[in-house]
Structure 1
């Protein structure tokens, strides 16, 4: 296991543990976070743990041509039930992602330090959010790190049915129009799979990450 020091450095991905832990420790400074995401690494840890840096052997991603919009979801979009905005309430989005209860999960990996770290990234124009509104109330959204050609999704939330799906679809369509390569969703879950996300090998993901043009 590689333990980070104050030096701005990550070991080669090949040194990752079988489950994908690349390194332990370090900090959540903007410089380290930017280096991590550009290297295919992200932080994921509990409040009482040291910072764990991950690059899992299989990466959940969305190729935009694979986006699945169900008939019921298309009806919701056509009904204009929700309004979507971008980067207008980043802190509110990340705090809702932190607080929302999730099935089969106790607590959250979004610590207070992570909230402040990603809010700082947002101030620098690197972390971005999608907000979903219903009757002028924030009912869903997501946030992530924008690398300019790959968007690394971090977390999403819904206070009403389908709000996070609406945010995800809106983001995917915007990224496709801007010629992004893919939307990184990090690790598998059924919700993401239902939207068309698939797992690819870490090596394939890193190739896309390095292909900026």
Structure 2
């Protein structure tokens, strides 16, 4: 790939649920003045449409129909962040044709002249294998469960740590074990373990990686 100094800056961020990749992606997009796409919301949008219409989650033809209708410019994070939608989305994401449709839409987003920041489960491996910078953001399951519980409580909700932890472990197994585009770091991804980091520390660490690649032209 050409030096990022002379081409678009595409930042691919992958990682498991509640690893902090979404918050990090938004911070980086703001800092580098790039458009951002949380690709997980595209799967959630399909799941939300199926739930709203009362269609079975395992009904591939209806899921494919919904995937074609997803508008990347109309993703409502507030609505799509509901726990039930996330659970449904993880099941929708195993349907190969749905993945192909949404990946095509995500690649169009990434191809903007300025570049873009995309976060998800298969950005560096499938969606943008030639991204300028690839980050794999992770944290221990226990840390991620504590973060998820804190998010719920911050919204005046309540949750049980053990239940949330079990849910995260199940989602990891489903995402990492699926046959089509499993969650895994790209061979040339930079690993960022945020277990002992707050968001500011993670942001500065990611910036250091990105700035070094941009300065040296040593991206993918």
Taking structure 2 as the reference length, what is the TM-score of the superposition? 0.30
Whose strand proportion is higher, 1 or 2? 1
Taking structure 1 as the reference length, what is the TM-score of the superposition? 0.31
